[in-house]
Amino acid sequence: MTVKRKQFLLEWVRIIAVIIIALAIGFVITSLVSDDPVGAYRDLLTGPLPKISWVDGGLSLRGINRFGNWMEDSTTLILVGLAVAIVFSARQFSLGAEGQIFIGALAAGVVSLYLNAPAFIHIGVALIAAGTAGFLWGLIPGVLKAYLNADEIVSTLMLNIIALQIYRFILTQYLKDPTAGFVATEFFPNSAVLPVIIPGTRVTVMFIITIAAIVATWFLMSRTPLGYEIRILGANIKFAEYGGVNAKRVIALSMAVSGILAGLAGAHLSMGLLKQLTLNLSLGIGFEGIVVALLARNDPRAVPIAGLFYGYLRTGAQIMERSSDVTREVVLIIQAIIILFITAERIVPLIQEWWRRRQSPEAILEQGAADVV
């Protein structure tokens, strides 16, 4: 077994171990606040899965909508996770995915409402508009960091606020449907709505586009000069510059290219899930994409696994909240503990060190003396 493969297997053993530990702690917390902790935890762990049963001589599938919720959440999370993974690989701690989602959704919404074209062209142009808007919005903090040395954390957070207010201003002043009872546009025409691929859910062709995005991101990062430059920049910026890499260009492009994926996530929310623009488009899912990227160690191949896992956890937590006596606050605590344990690098090494010390000769002698007494 090669060293690389051994490290890969050890990493998965670590992840599985800490998931089990975190779930056990979560169950203890649930036991303290719930009259039926087993049932509540069952909802968390199995709620998103469809239920197959035999009814009247045939198979019956129940809970497909819950499964759909899992896939819908995961699609958005994977797109945002890929976006964050690109920019984090360049060692640029951009937090701008949330703003790029709003700008991408706005661009897709304007095209959806005002372009009159066949579905294939209508959807294609809207998606291109969303990706382009995300690219341009991501380019702004990239240029600020590369050429003016502006702190990317501050600039992207501030640009998130600007993007949100631009989105709300245009929606309220120019796009709002006056007949609606809340701040929202008209529903998009059918030619601009992403086609559903799983009946009974809102899982659309964006799921297939997301698979293509995973492959494209992997290819970009591992098989192109720009991807190589992003990775070498993230490893050591001085070495990259010494080797002839234009660090400023790479910093700007890494943030801009990541914006394309975040913009597509915004298009998914507006064209696939809501089918309109609403005031509360995204409830912080751009920041949750950061968790997905961290879980995946910024590896595009691992982002779909991390996105599916986190999406499953989100959906299960929502079902647990609705179906049991566990409050939302406790559900969020359990969810946060699981994520914290998974991202903790030192948990398994600490346990191994504790076990090694327990098995030291001194510890064995002490235990033997205690047994004799």
* Residue 51 is assigned to a structural domain of this protein: no
pLDDT of residue 86: 96
Measured between alpha carbons, how far is 216 from 227 in angstroms, rounded to an integer?
11
pLDDT of residue 351: 61
* Residue 255 is assigned to a structural domain of this protein: yes
Chunked into runs of 10 residues, the chain (373 residues) has average pLDDT values of 72 75 85 88 86 61 83 95 95 92 97 95 97 97 94 94 96 91 92 93 95 97 94 90 91 96 97 93 85 88 91 88 82 78 64 63 49 44
* Residue 337 is assigned to a structural domain of this protein: no
The tokens of 233 are what?
């920049």
* Residue 334 is assigned to a structural domain of this protein: no
Report helix angle 152-170 to 119-148, nearest 10: 140
Q: Which of 272, 285, 306, 311 is nearest to 70 (CA)?
A: 311
Asked if residues 184 and 278 have their Cβ atoms less than 8 Å apart, the reply is: yes
pLDDT of residue 322: 86
* Residue 286 is assigned to a structural domain of this protein: yes
Q: Total domain count for the chain?
A: 1
Q: For residue 51, which phi and psi values (nearest 5 degrees)?
A: -100, 120
Q: What is the CATH number of the domain that holds 203?
A: 1.10.3470.10
Which residues have C-beta within 8 Å of that of residue 25, sequence separation ≥ 6? 337, 341
* Residue 346 is assigned to a structural domain of this protein: no
Expressed as residue numbers, the domain containing 182 is 62-325
* Residue 363 is assigned to a structural domain of this protein: no
* Residue 71 is assigned to a structural domain of this protein: yes
pLDDT of residue 278: 94
By CB atoms closer than 10 A (0-12, 13-18, 19+), residue 254 is buried
Over its C-alpha atoms, the chain yields an Rg (Å, rounded) of 24
The tokens of 49 are what?
């899965």
